[in-house]
Chains A and B, each alone.
Chain A
Amino acid sequence: MKLANFLFKECLGTNCLKKQLVLSLFCVFVAQAGFSQQTVTGNITDEQGIPIAGAAVLEKNTANGTATDFDGNYEITTSQSDAVLVFSYLGFVSQEIPVQGKSTINVVLKEDLQQLSEVVVIGYGTQKRADVTSSVATVKSEDFVQGNVKDAAQLIQGKVAGLSVSAPSGDPTEGTQINLRGFSSLTGGSNPLVLVDGVPGSLNTVAPEDIESIDVLKDGSATAIYGTRGTNGVIIITTKKGSADMKPTIEYNGYASLSTIADRLDFLDAGELRQKFNEGYTFNGANIQDFGSDTDWVDQITRDAYSQVHNLIFRAGNSTSNMTASLNYRDLEGIFLKSDNKRHTARVSVNHAMFDNRLKANVGVILSEQTFNALGDGASFNPYIYRQALIRNPTEPVYNEDGTWYERDVYFYDNPVAYIQETIGQNRYRNTRFDFSLSYDFGDHVTIKGLYTRKGNSNIRGFYETKNHVSTTKNGQEGFASRGTDDYVGNYGQFTVDYDNSFGKHKVTGLVGYNYEDNTSEGFWATNRRFPTDGFTYNNIGSGQGLQLGEAGMYSEKYSDKLIAFFSRVTYNYDDRYLLMASMRREGSSRFGEDNKWGNFPGISLGWRVDQESFADNWDWLSNLKLRTGFGITGINAGANYQALSGLKYGDYFLNNGQWVRELVPSRNANPNLRWEKKEEFNLGLDFGVLDGRINGSVDYYNRTTKDALLNYSVPTPPYFYGEIAANVAQIKNTGLEFLLNVTPFQTDNFEWTANLTYSTNTNEVVSLSNGEFQLTNDFFDEGYTGEPIQIETHRIQEGQPIGNFFGLKSVDITEDGIWVIERPDGTLVPATEATTDDRQVLGNGLPKTYYSWNNTVKYKNWDLMVNLRGALDYQILNFSRMFYENPTISYNTLDSAYDMVYGKAVLQDVQRFVSYYVEDGDFLKIDNVTLGYTLPKDAIKFAQSFRIYASGLNLATITGYKGIDPEVNRNRTPNDGIVPGNDNRDKYPSIRTFTLGINFTF
């Protein structure tokens, strides 16, 4: 056991010790040879038919054993006549097979469903699943969502209870949105810390195809070791790695995808508009008359998008060195014209061991380059273009007869095809990461390890609007160009000392460490106009005359920050029954006030493995039962630099004696008392497994309270210079339950069905928005904005209420004249024209109370089928598209439904308003990912170790009552609007449906 434990702890993903084990066993075997014997040969593979190298083959009740070679072949000579062979490999269920005279025994090892021996990556180390006392989920690559995923997070969409991953945008440059256990912060967002092989990175640092497993640290006791950014959980990405004595392999993974718009909004087409004219409707603005054409504007700017992804991984190793090299190419098209994303990623990692494997070194490089067209200045997508396609008169032509763009002078109304075609833009990013680490094992239970990473990102952006763009044809810019570039460098260093020992039934590990991180960002941006020709586009920005005329812009900035931490952790295991983990991190951030830079983040968790108790010995049906509880404090760093620092800036211009000079003003309201936002979390969990793990799962309850939550707090001016100050004022509470259930209802040699179910709930409350220093007379503030012409806030954050409340007028009826009837909070009814902002009330909440998923894997012979369903319940969505376009009085094109009777009584004749009629239930069930795969029989192909082809669909079908395109809408904090979950913005890049054909093979 001790050896096994050592193996788990020290040789994650490598076979180094297995070889030692095999060698020592071999010695024993040689020494004891000489009885009546039989030689048995065979081959060991996993369920995909891939040979398992280094699997152990032991003759039961003897010391006789061997291990499989590179190709999974073994040969063993038994010592007894009634010999029973035991086949085992880490992470797989061991099998015992009596020899009974057979000379060939081929074995297919099945994965260990209970995964008790699975290695779980926790902060700065690993732990055996059985020893874990906090809430940690692990998803291996074979369980990943397959197909054209956006980033690493989408690989585990619906696989982890309590972790919501959604892809609300179809933009190929946009990633997923993640929320773990609700909103714990008002300004810190909900993005978790992402570690890529131990170093902070992003969900795009490595290609999804290059990932071996993803671990999610959920509760505070687990994440406290990451103090600073542990509040929203920690996602630990482990890349595919080479291992010692690994046969050289080349793995290819490639696919081609077709994406289409998931759903289209039903606007009036040309025929329908003409019908409205015939019915006597008159319109202003866009639809003022029939212009004689028939144009589907959304069709004009969208397409079927084809994408391809190729990934190659080379892996090999001998006894002292191993290496991994991978190359990934993604060429993604978006559904809008000119919307794309191309990315190359290369990764090389070389491990070398010396001095009896005591000294281990790793050198790694990750490089990537990303290029995409920019339809907005510096941005992939310009939502204004999509809006123009929706609201444009369908009887207008795209072109004039002379071939120029057809344009009209209507308020905020431009030809969307022209907008796309007359815009030229490109963003290119380069990301580098250099890793170097050394560790030394003193052999007497102590290992020291140091790691240094240098990270860098740079980008260059170019953007040009030609002289045929409305910026010139309507606004006289004579060509508009912008160029921008940003640069980031970061240093990350880590030093740890590990201790690991056993004393009888006591097992102890210890860890102390130091962490250093600095980040420096710089940016430059320039604009110009009045170009002599369109020929240069953005490449000769000095040739524009705007610079001389004072119409050019220029901007640069630089800023930096630092994080430094000391940490320690102890685990204790008594007899595999009682488990303890305690950790402490002391972390400092440069962003806080002089006396408040450092914070302490302790975590403690306890576990009791009930099934290991003697009284459970007879409970044969029980294979695992563990009670866990934990408490931990994590922190959130200030969102921006320098908020504690009194700074000065040169601001607006002032006319002094005929010359314009800049004013000198404070940069901000500095808050020298700015300190860590701290979240305290209590977690109670239960892991169980019955019937040999055919049914296993876990239940977790959490209760988290965020104290000193940061908020841009409104303050009086004067005495303050500005109306807001960053301050630690709020208190937020989240409680929830999470269930995970893995079931294998059917399992035969040829057929297996496994199902995985998750269910999680979250309840959120803003406990307080004031502290001793900062007080509000009222206990709320409003966030979100409808935009013009409605121009009102959408959400209210109020003490005693959950985050995400929609706040507006409650519509209950409509007058005969088509004016909304509003129910005031006191129950009285008034027409909307007489309602005031005081008549607003809570209309719903945009954060789902429940998420659930049901993932199925069916294997039949060489076929595999994955069907993933997931959904969310009990939340509302504000349908902006209906709020703006389901109204026949507006001066733009409308939804077909604008002419329907509201409440069955009258067609709407009111102005556009934010009323509860547009707040819809968002509950949904998605058939999200279906994958059908076929693995070629091993003997069908000679050249490859394995070969699989598959077809997959993403976002296939949605069952919902929601009338918009997709009920999975933005739920994250947005920089401009704040926390406004459930706002389905009318300009959102529509979500997409994707079909994929792919192959994987390994040489």
Chain B
Amino acid sequence: MKNILNKVNSLRPKILTLLASLLLLPIACTDLEEEVFSEVTESSFVPSESDIISVMASAYTPMRFVMGWQGYFDLQEEPGDMFVTPTRPNGWDDGGTYKRMHFHEWTETQWQPRNTWITCFNGINSANRVILQVESGELPVSEEQASAIISEMRALRALYYSMLVDTHGNVPIIASYSDELPVQSSRSEVYNFIVSELTEVIPNLTEVVDQSTYGRMTKWAAYHVLARVYLNAEVYTGTAQWDNVIDACDEIISSGAFELSSNYSDIFSTENQGNPEMVFAIPYDQIFAGDWNAHMKMLLPDHRLVFDMQAQPWGGSSCNPQFIDSYDANDKRLADTWLMGDQLNASDGSVVMTLRKEMPSIYDCEFTDGFRCGKYEIESGATAGLSVDFPFLRYTDVLMMKAEALLRTNRADEAATIVTQVRLRSFEDPAEATVTGTELEGDTTVEYGTLAEDGTIDEPGDQSAVPYGRFLDELGWEFAAEARRRTDMIRFGVYQTKNWYNHTPQGDYTILFPIGLEELNTNTNLRQNPGY
């Protein structure tokens, strides 16, 4: 007995040592540093030269929201007189969101304006971040490169602000990447900021127009943005800038870098990247950048068979019959822009369905009610992400801006010459393409007024002539479904005064969208736009 106990006693220290070494081992560990594997930490990251473009890319990619879900396209087209998204057999009431857009009865929780605000500021924030990284020496760039990058980023930032000044107006001007809570600026301050920024950076921007600058802010893209804000200066500030519009457009025209596309449809084809009209394109790609789903919102499920698509579209938005009725019957842009009548099966040519122009009510439409936008090519095998590059700034717009400025400064015949030049490619007979200055000064051909279910005018509303209304029609026919109708209608005074489809005017305050509830909620410096 004693032996055993001795043995136990002699073993005990060894056991205890073993225990202690096993159990006390982890005591040493109080290290709680986080280990990363599939991302990089900002503190340890050293950017290489190839990362420069990746860093700059972050300021450009937000632009793809233009043709994305409830993106800029929806914001510019849903409140206009061209597109309507009525309730259909498969839904599309969507909590009333599209009706509020049509009626101009949006609230501060409306998603389309919020998306534009969030995305533009995302781009602005990223541009500022790139500028900071260049200025702080974080990116390995030469002095020359640094100046070019900073100018390009400032021009891109101005592009984002050119959208915000139009949609929300009184937005904060944020010119650096900092922790400061942004302070709100007035619409005219934002306008002045855009003009001064572009004017300042234009001399430093590249004049090259080729693959290397495709989808980037060149000198010409910057002039184009400048011309656009000058064109709308009267809306933004109360003071028109027509001569400045002409000067900026002339810079682009005289560069000789662009020309009109001989074929209208080519501008909107899948392979439109080499089109001579492109001043600033937003590249999309089914594989790499599939953000374009605007076509899914417009086409019907059965268009899968018509275009041999690899996706089944959702079938919501179609064209207000009043706008269709305004077209000249021989204007090829009618058929180039809208899918009408029989829709044929791609494989056997049989009729899949027949689209009709009529759309009885925003509360109740059949699937096949209303013509659909077919302007952007749906290639065989197209998916929910279209590969067409969006022509955000195109040369025709430069010509038309100049024409409008001439028209409004009593040079109607000069304007008519330009408009005729633009129309020529869309008419078989050049005589039909020709317009006169007097015509352009005349009223719109759109018959405004709300529609009854049978398609007749229900409430005519304001029937006074629209000054230069015919020019607005020209913009509509040429730039249908190019995410700009709202801006044009405001400039011509139609947006806030006329009745169309199921819409009646709500007042001037609707020219600006409300600032989003969430944005107001999180930034106490912001005040809501007047009228909301």
A614 part of interface (Cβ distance < 8 Å): no
B289 touches A655 (CB 8 A): yes
Distance in angstroms between the alpha carbons of A652 and B57 in the assembled complex:
9
Residues on the A chain within 8 Å of B348, using CB: none
Residues on the A chain within 8 Å of B302, using CB: 409
Distance in angstroms between the alpha carbons of A590 and B32 in the assembled complex:
5
Give the size category of A's interface with B.
35 or more
A718 touches B125 (CB 8 A): yes
B80 part of interface (Cβ distance < 8 Å): no
Distance in angstroms between the alpha carbons of A719 and B179 in the assembled complex:
5
A656 part of interface (Cβ distance < 8 Å): yes
Distance in angstroms between the alpha carbons of A654 and B57 in the assembled complex:
6
Q: How far is the CB of B106 from chain A (nearest CB, A)?
A: 9
Beta-carbon contacts of A629-661 to B below 8 Å, as 1s and 0s?
Answer: 000000000000110111111111111111011
B95 touches A651 (CB 8 A): no
Q: How far is the CB of B278 from chain A (nearest CB, A)?
A: 12
A858 part of interface (Cβ distance < 8 Å): no
B349 part of interface (Cβ distance < 8 Å): no
Q: How far is the CB of B301 from chain A (nearest CB, A)?
A: 5
Q: How far is the CB of B87 from chain A (nearest CB, A)?
A: 5
Distance in angstroms between the alpha carbons of A412 and B313 in the assembled complex:
10
A664 with B51: in contact, given A440-B19, A836-B100, A912-B93 (CB under 8 Å)? Answer: yes
B521 touches A777 (CB 8 A): yes
B90 touches A647 (CB 8 A): no
**In the complex, chain A residues 327-380 whose Cβ is within 8 Å of any chain B Cβ:** 355-356, 359
B121 touches A790 (CB 8 A): no
B45 touches A660 (CB 8 A): no
B463 part of interface (Cβ distance < 8 Å): no
A932 part of interface (Cβ distance < 8 Å): no
**In the complex, chain B residues 29-43 whose Cβ is within 8 Å of any chain A Cβ:** 29-43
A646 touches B43 (CB 8 A): yes
A558 touches B37 (CB 8 A): yes
B310 touches A448 (CB 8 A): no
Q: How far is the CB of B224 from chain A (nearest CB, A)?
A: 19
Query: Which has the most chain A C-beta neighbours within 10 Å: B33, B96, B212, B367?
Result: B96
B42 touches A646 (CB 8 A): yes
A656 with B32: in contact, given A648-B45, A833-B363 (CB under 8 Å)? Answer: no
Q: How far is the CB of A590 from chain B (nearest CB, A)?
A: 4
A412 touches B90 (CB 8 A): yes
A400 part of interface (Cβ distance < 8 Å): no
Q: How far is the CB of A301 from chain B (nearest CB, A)?
A: 22
Residues on the B chain within 8 Å of A641, using CB: 34
Residues on the B chain within 8 Å of A493, using CB: 26
Residues on the A chain within 8 Å of B38, using CB: 556-559
Which of B10-18, B146-154, B321-329, B415-423 interfaces with chain A?
Answer: B10-18
B263 part of interface (Cβ distance < 8 Å): no
B58 part of interface (Cβ distance < 8 Å): yes
Distance in angstroms between the alpha carbons of A777 and B526 in the assembled complex:
10
Q: How far is the CB of B265 from chain A (nearest CB, A)?
A: 22
**In the complex, chain A residues 569-587 whose Cβ is within 8 Å of any chain B Cβ:** none
Residues on the A chain within 8 Å of B24, using CB: 495
Distance in angstroms between the alpha carbons of A678 and B128 in the assembled complex:
37
B95 touches A448 (CB 8 A): no
Beta-carbon contacts of B116-140 to A below 8 Å, as 1s and 0s?
Answer: 0010011011101100000000000
B19 touches A448 (CB 8 A): yes
Beta-carbon contacts of A598-625 to B below 8 Å, as 1s and 0s?
Answer: 0000000000000000000000000000
Q: How far is the CB of B44 from chain A (nearest CB, A)?
A: 10
A721 touches B34 (CB 8 A): no
Q: How far is the CB of A75 from chain B (nearest CB, A)?
A: 29
A716 touches B523 (CB 8 A): yes
Query: Which has the most chain B C-beta neighbours within 10 Å: A411, A588, A650, A789?
Result: A411
A959 part of interface (Cβ distance < 8 Å): no
Residues on the A chain within 8 Å of B125, using CB: 717-719, 721
Residues on the A chain within 8 Å of B107, using CB: 836-838
From the candidates B8, B19, B118, B311, name the one contacting A356 in the complex (CB within 8 A). B8
Distance in angstroms between the alpha carbons of A516 and B214 in the assembled complex:
55
Distance in angstroms between the alpha carbons of A493 and B517 in the assembled complex:
49
Q: Which residue from chain A places its CB closest to the CB of B93 in the assembled complex? A: A911
Q: How far is the CB of A457 from chain B (nearest CB, A)?
A: 18
A723 touches B118 (CB 8 A): yes
Residues on the A chain within 8 Å of B97, using CB: 791
Distance in angstroms between the alpha carbons of A608 and B285 in the assembled complex:
74
Residues on the B chain within 8 Å of A718, using CB: 121, 124-125, 128, 174, 177, 182
A653 with B41: in contact, given A560-B35, A562-B32, A665-B126 (CB under 8 Å)? Answer: no
Residues on the B chain within 8 Å of A789, using CB: 90-94
A788 touches B55 (CB 8 A): no
Give the size category of B's interface with A.
35 or more
A657 touches B211 (CB 8 A): yes
Beta-carbon contacts of A545-568 to B below 8 Å, as 1s and 0s?
Answer: 000011100001111111010000
B283 touches A714 (CB 8 A): no
B61 touches A284 (CB 8 A): no
Q: How far is the CB of A610 from chain B (nearest CB, A)?
A: 42
B431 part of interface (Cβ distance < 8 Å): no
A311 part of interface (Cβ distance < 8 Å): no
B465 part of interface (Cβ distance < 8 Å): no
Residues on the A chain within 8 Å of B105, using CB: 836
B93 touches A409 (CB 8 A): no
B57 touches A777 (CB 8 A): no
Beta-carbon contacts of A914-926 to B below 8 Å, as 1s and 0s?
Answer: 1000000000000
B335 part of interface (Cβ distance < 8 Å): no
Q: Which residue from chain A places its CB closest to the CB of B22 in the assembled complex? A: A450
Residues on the B chain within 8 Å of A792, using CB: 95
Q: Which residue from chain B places its CB closest to the CB of A778 in the assembled complex? A: B521
B409 part of interface (Cβ distance < 8 Å): no
Distance in angstroms between the alpha carbons of A717 and B283 in the assembled complex:
25
Q: How far is the CB of A60 from chain B (nearest CB, A)?
A: 35
Distance in angstroms between the alpha carbons of A409 and B345 in the assembled complex:
13
Distance in angstroms between the alpha carbons of A912 and B54 in the assembled complex:
45
Distance in angstroms between the alpha carbons of A590 and B30 in the assembled complex:
10
A642 with B39: in contact, given A284-B367, A654-B61, A719-B178 (CB under 8 Å)? Answer: yes
A648 with B87: in contact, given A438-B23, A657-B211 (CB under 8 Å)? Answer: no
Distance in angstroms between the alpha carbons of A549 and B304 in the assembled complex:
21
B215 touches A655 (CB 8 A): yes
B54 touches A661 (CB 8 A): yes
Distance in angstroms between the alpha carbons of A550 and B285 in the assembled complex:
11
Residues on the B chain within 8 Å of A557, using CB: 37-38
Residues on the A chain within 8 Å of B71, using CB: none
A516 touches B522 (CB 8 A): no
From the candidates B39, B47, B95, B519, name the one contacting A791 in the complex (CB within 8 A). B95
B32 touches A409 (CB 8 A): no
Distance in angstroms between the alpha carbons of A556 and B38 in the assembled complex:
8
Q: How far is the CB of A646 from chain B (nearest CB, A)?
A: 4
B181 touches A716 (CB 8 A): yes
Query: Which has the most chain A C-beta neighbours within 10 Å: B15, B35, B47?
Result: B35
A564 with B29: in contact, given A438-B19, A476-B381, A653-B288 (CB under 8 Å)? Answer: yes
Residues on the A chain within 8 Å of B310, using CB: 475-477
Interfacial residues, chain B to chain A (CB-CB below 8 A): 8, 11-12, 15-16, 19, 22-24, 26-27, 29-43, 45, 47, 51, 53-55, 57-58, 60-61, 64, 87, 89-97, 100, 105, 107, 109, 118, 121-122, 124-126, 128-129, 174, 177-182, 211-212, 214-215, 283, 285, 287-289, 301-302, 304-305, 309-312, 314-315, 363, 366-367, 381, 517-524
- 14 additional contacts (CB under 8 A) given A648-B42, A663-B57: A284-B89, A409-B301, A448-B19, A550-B287, A644-B34, A652-B61, A653-B285, A653-B288, A654-B57, A660-B285, A664-B55, A786-B95, A789-B90, A911-B87
Leading 6 A-B pairs by shortest Cβ distance: A789-B91, A450-B23, A284-B89, A654-B57, A891-B89, A476-B310
A-B contact pairs, 22 of them (CB 8 A): A409-B305, A411-B89, A449-B23, A450-B19, A493-B26, A558-B37, A646-B41, A647-B39, A647-B41, A648-B42, A653-B288, A654-B53, A663-B61, A715-B522, A717-B121, A717-B125, A719-B182, A777-B521, A777-B522, A789-B93, A837-B95, A838-B107
